[in-house]
Amino acid sequence: MNRALGRFLPPARTRPATIHQAMRYSLFAGGKRIRPILTLAAAEACGGTTAGAMPLACVVECIHTYSLIHDDLPAMDNDDFRRGRATSHKVYSEGIAVLAGDALLTQAFEIVAQAKGWPRYPHTALIREITETAGSLKLIAGQVADLEGEGENLSIAQLRYIHERKTSALLACSVRLGGMSANCTVRQLKALTDFGYNVGLAFQVIDDILDVTQTTEELGKTAGKDQAAAKATYPAIVGLEKSGKIAKKLTDKAFAALKPFAGKATALEAMAEYLLKRSN
Ligand code: GRG
């Protein structure tokens, strides 16, 4: 994964070196690579190959890293610590951090252009999938609702709206792109969508639990931020125990979605289990 990402990005010394170093600084900071692994696992479930899925796996990691860099900016979540190191704007400057995020998002589309394209999923379908996910109806919609929800008493339905967009959309897109790289059938794509949707929701519930129960060192990002920012979360609304049960129920739904793969989605199953039990 790291080798592939390294090959797609301009070398660190390419002029202007600051921006290429900043892109690499955040991309190779030690993220868990959950989304690209989901892409590779989904490709495997649909009979595809790692080599075929790798460009699209790199695409989702570039988009994810861009969103983290921008989310950490003072104008957004204002965080100094991410992936176990100082955030991009702390090391480089706010201007360079904005540009590093922009450059990673743009890089994602260059990588799509280098991907093969498949009979059922030509480049137009891939680009549409990615723009719908990263655009103002999903990822950005989630971030807007998250910002506007700070300090508000949100209902569970409003919280679900945020989680579906800011978190679940990119996880669903990650598995869908994996399926597309294997030229998957409509039925397989539907199963992957259901899996990604539920595993994505579970992921955010667990993330909110970990924000309360883990330390900054364990997380590699600042712990206790949700309470400090008066953010609505499942633990804040229904408590830690019930939040754990909700995450388990969503994971069960994700497992159920894999039925059509008849035992061929073992890597996706392993990921769903890991995401439920993770500690960072
Ligand atoms: C477009 C600025 C902008 C934001 C879009 C995705 C997003 C909205 C903001 C990112 C911050 C955030 C709290 C997202 C929710 C998903 C989440 C918990 C991300 C952290 O993902 P991990 O744990 O991180 O997979 P690593 O560092 O391991 O890759």
166 lines ligand 1 (CB under 6 A): yes
- Look at residue 111 and tell me whether its pLDDT is greater than 90: yes
92 pLDDT band, cuts 50/70/90, is: very high
- Look at residue 24 and tell me whether its pLDDT is greater than 90: yes
pLDDT in tens, 236-254: 999 999 999 999 999 999 9
Q: What number is the average pLDDT over the span 45-51?
A: 97
Cis preceding linkage at 16, omega within 30: yes
Q: How far is CA 220 from the centre of its chain?
A: 16
Q: 64 CA to middle of ligand 1, Å?
A: 6
Cα end-to-end distance, the chain, whole Å:
20
188 lines ligand 1 (CB under 6 A): no
Give me the pLDDT at residue 80, please. 95
Predicted structure pTM score: 0.97
34 lines ligand 1 (CB under 6 A): yes
Give me the pLDDT at residue 131, please. 98
- CB–CB of 175/192 below 8 Å? yes
Torsion of CA 159, 160, 164, 168, to 10 degrees: 90
CA gap 26, 41 in Å, rounded: 24
271 pLDDT band, cuts 50/70/90, is: very high
71 lines ligand 1 (CB under 6 A): yes
Mutation probe of ligand 1 site: the residue of 67, 72, 234, 271 with most atoms within 8 A of C-beta: 67
Structural tokens at position 159: 């919280």
140 lines ligand 1 (CB under 6 A): yes
- Look at residue 229 and tell me whether its pLDDT is greater than 90: no
Atom of ligand 1 nearest to the CA of 143: 8
Q: 135 CA to middle of ligand 1, Å?
A: 15
200 lines ligand 1 (CB under 6 A): no
Q: What residue has token string 């409509």?
A: 186
pLDDT in tens, 123-173: 999 999 999 999 999 999 999 999 999 889 999 999 999 999 999 999 999
Mean pLDDT of the chain: 96
228 pLDDT band, cuts 50/70/90, is: confident
